[in-house]
Amino acid sequence: MRVSRNEVKTTIAKATVGVGLPLGIGEELGYSAQNILKYHSSSLVPFAKAFDAIEKNISSNFDLNQAFQGYFSAEKINTPLSALACVTSVCDLILDNHIKLSDSSTIHINNVDIPAIIIFQTLITSQNLDIKNCVSWTLHEKPSISGFSAQGCLTFTSGGLSDLLKACRTSLSIKIIRLSSQSNSIYLKYLTQKNTIEVDRNTWTCICKYAERLLIKATDESRLTGAGAGIIDTD
């Protein structure tokens, strides 16, 4: 079914809050989903899976002490790390390290449930980098999937988008690297905006289900006064 980019952004943000995560994270995920659909994939499946994993308590939040050291892993033993819960902190840390140290320190994310969520968000992070830099990432799958995010554009050096969309419960390492001028010309040509976004109806319904948790049913009282109108309001 066709949805608008604005619907994607607001629905993902609301769904994030609907599964109990903070609005600030939801807003960024909404922006990220809108961006990925705009330029790359038509699949919202990673978001739906990530919401389900939080909802069903399959995945958990990150261990704070380890995160301070640049290692993200689940706070609960033997559970995967929720990408939704850690994604903004991972991307903040990438940027923070880059600004503060101008170094290439690597961030490690262990056993993350849906790695695509983090890669999508690195596209946004890459827009805040100097054009000469990019976010390089590797999923430690067999075979490995790797690539870089530069100026909002996703480029694969091994594997492809379909592999990334399928990947789950894997480890991931991320660092900022200098981009060669040759790579620059490669990624820029891919950055073409899609005019229409078609998403899978079932996936969309699943995401909407979480978003709709924020809606409040009308009461007789709210029907009369909720929008501010009085009882006699025709002219």
Query: C-beta of 139: minimal distance to other proteins in Å?
Result: 23
192 binds other proteins (CB under 8 A): no
With CB under 8 A as the rule, give the number of residues binding other proteins. Answer: 53
Cα separation of 111 and 75, whole Å?
11
Note if the bond before 143 is cis, omega within 30 degrees: yes
Cα separation of 183 and 132, whole Å?
10
H/E element, 220: helix 220-225
Phi, psi of 102 (to 5 degrees): 50, 30
215 binds other proteins (CB under 8 A): yes
226 binds other proteins (CB under 8 A): yes
Q: Which of 53, 67, 139, 176 touches other proteins by CB under 8 A?
A: 67
Any idea which residue has 């909407």 for tokens? 208
Q: Which of 56, 100, 142, 189 touches other proteins by CB under 8 A?
A: 100
Q: Which of 15, 21, 50, 174 touches other proteins by CB under 8 A?
A: 21
Other CB atoms within 10 Å distance of the CB of residue 36: 26
Cα separation of 159 and 202, whole Å?
27
Is residue 1 within 8 A of residue 199, CB to CB? The reply is: yes
Q: Which stretch binds other proteins (CB under 8 A): 82-90, 109-117, 143-151, 159-167?
A: 82-90
Q: Which of 39, 82, 92, 187 touches other proteins by CB under 8 A?
A: 92
DSSP bridge pairs for 146: 138, 158
20 binds other proteins (CB under 8 A): no
Query: C-beta of 131: minimal distance to other proteins in Å?
Result: 16
195 binds other proteins (CB under 8 A): yes
Cα separation of 145 and 160, whole Å?
7
Q: Which stretch binds other proteins (CB under 8 A): 103-111, 136-144, 182-190, 216-224?
A: 216-224
Cα separation of 85 and 68, whole Å?
15
Task: Tell me which residues touch other proteins (CB under 8 A).
Answer: 2-7, 14, 21-25, 27-28, 31, 62, 64, 67-68, 85, 88-89, 92-93, 95-96, 99-100, 124, 127-128, 195-196, 212-219, 221-223, 225-230, 233-235
